[in-house]
Amino acid sequence: MRAPQNRRVFVVGYGAATPLGKTFTGTWRRAVKGEAGFRKVTRCQVESACDIVGEIPDWNPRDLDFADAKEVYNWNAAFVILTMAVCKEALENAGIVMDDKIAPRMACLIGSAINGSDAFRAAVNDLETRGPLRVSPYLLPNLCANLPSGKAGMLLKFTGPIFSPQGACASGNHAIGIGARMIRDGDCDFVLAGGADTPIMPEIIHGFANMNATIKVQPGDRAYTEHGQASRPFSADRRGFVLSEGAGVVVLAAEEVIKTYGLRPKAEILGIGWTSDAHHYTAPHAPTIIRAIRETIEDAGLTPEDIQYINAHGTSTPKGDAMEIKCLREVFGKQIEKIPVSSNKSQLGHTLGATAAIEAALTIEGMSRGIILPTINHLPDPALADVDVVPNEARKQKIEIALSNAFGFGGTNCCVIFKGV
């Protein structure tokens, strides 16, 4: 294999569809106001107290200029067309116009946690109610993890590598990390890196509920009447995450092509660290999380004292949040008292494979604007009192170096460090 070219890698654009908005612009506008995107589930019927979810508002794929009724019917794994729309937004945000030189040098890496489960659900229903000849011939393509990237390529006309990093809830950071390595090594010049998940269906909702992973909103809970208060990372009364749908994509580019095409860099990818736990399929494991954070800092050529903000994984689970803070204390020592640590999941819920890419985009936008997004719905937990979680309101504060954490089922951990420009 050829030697790596050690090129610098930058983020030049991004797109997102989240419970706060069907575009990144809409998401940011509500995020900076401290709003949450939660409501009673409308996409399906469930018999569970875990019925507060995050749904993309006003999302209808038939409203898109590239998707007619037939396209939407055939590609009924919702993450496919959602990815196409967000990749299109990301390229427009970056100011990239596809041409014969860019197309073969652009890769697309879109991760997911549950992939096309909704398409499989529809096929089972067709088989049971309409017979075997009514199972869609599009079923198997809909289930392929690389299809969102592939369909995005068909729409946007790039022909570089496409595949799906499968890292559960850390998939977005895995996509960013692998994409940055590919550019660094000269395999491509541009990468659309991110994740997409559309888990709002009865089986997934009930499955998470029975794991005691998602919040059960009972009478007396403050979210019972105020649904926006359901996700409360690092709070004394946190009771589980809010399941959400969404997609996020960042556009990565090599330094020299940024100059060639007159693009505007938003942040540099400085470091990546990834580990696995070999411990438990859901429970976090301190030693390997700590190692992932330390390896990210080392990869960036930094020290813990250089980190100015941490975008936490912060899911709003009692054990998960406590474990993440424990790990941050171990890495940063007393300095953790001086570093803002906030969780976007307080506003977005948990979008599974999409979450890390969405949070990366929000972190970078915040860096460019001198704003740290808050951890809303916060009631202080005495056990976490030494940590500044940016409670309840966005903060004007200039930061140059940010660490973003993502940990996933199966015991996978991936962290990324961004430097503002």
Would you say residue 266 lies in a domain?
A: no
* Structural domain includes residue 3: no
Which domain CATH number covers 275?
A: 3.40.47.10
Q: Is residue 120 part of a domain?
A: yes
- List Cα–Cα distances, 365 to 54, 197, 262, 402, in angstroms: 22, 22, 20, 12
Per-residue confidence (pLDDT) for residue 3, from 0 to 100? 73
Question: How does residue 65 score in pLDDT terms, banded at 50, 70 and 90?
Answer: very high
Nearest to 80 by CA among 153, 130, 7: 153
Residue 202 lies in a domain: yes
User: CB neighbours (10 Å) of residue 153?
Assistant: 22
Confidence of residue 5 (pLDDT cuts 50, 70, 90): confident
Residues 212, 106 share a domain: yes
Question: Same domain, yes or no, for 341 and 241?
Answer: no
Question: Could you tell me if 288 and 237 lie in one domain?
Answer: no
* Residue 2 falls inside a structural domain: no
Residue after which a domain boundary falls, among 234, 261, 288: 261
CA–CA gap between residue 205 and residue 47 (Å, rounded): 10
Q: Are residues 170 and 62 in the same domain?
A: yes
- Give pLDDT tens digits for 79-94: 999 999 999 999 999 9
- Is 315 in the same domain as 243? no
* Catalytic positions: 169, 313, 350
Domain that holds residue 256: 9-261
Count of residues for the chain? 421
Last residue in a domain, options 207, 232, 261? 261
> Are residues 302 and 353 both part of a single domain?
yes
Sign of the alpha-carbon torsion through 74, 79, 85, 91: negative
- Terminal CA-to-CA distance of the chain, rounded, Å? 33
**Same domain, residue pair 291 and 394:** yes
Q: Are residues 36 and 82 in the same domain?
A: yes
How many folded domains does the chain comprise?
Answer: 2
Residue 1 covered by a domain: no
Cα 390 to Cα 235: distance, rounded to the nearest angstrom: 12
Report pLDDT for 416: 98
Q: What angle do CA 263, 268, 273 make, to 5 degrees?
A: 145
Tens digits of per-residue pLDDT, 319-353? 999 999 999 999 999 999 999 999 999 999 999 99
The arrangement of strands across the sheet holding 412-420 comes to 162-163, 106-111, 190-197, 246-254, 9-17, 267-276, 412-420, 401-408, 309-311, 341-342
Distance CA(235)–CA(104), nearest Å, equals 47
Quick one: 163 and 37 in the same domain?
A: yes
Residue 216 and residue 299 in one domain: no
313 belongs to a structural domain = yes
- Of the residues 192, 227, 261, which one is the last residue of a structural domain? 261
Shortest CA distance to 295 belongs to which of 211, 198, 416?
Answer: 416
pTM: 0.97
* Cα–Cα distance list, 158 to 150, 155, 390 (Å): 9, 8, 40
Q: How confident is the model at residue 250 (pLDDT cuts 50, 70, 90)?
A: very high
Q: What is the CA radius of gyration of the chain?
A: 20
Q: Are residues 93 and 233 in the same domain?
A: yes
Domain co-membership, 89 together with 190? yes
Q: How many helices (H) and strands (E) does the chain have?
A: 13, 14
- Is 4 a member of any domain? no
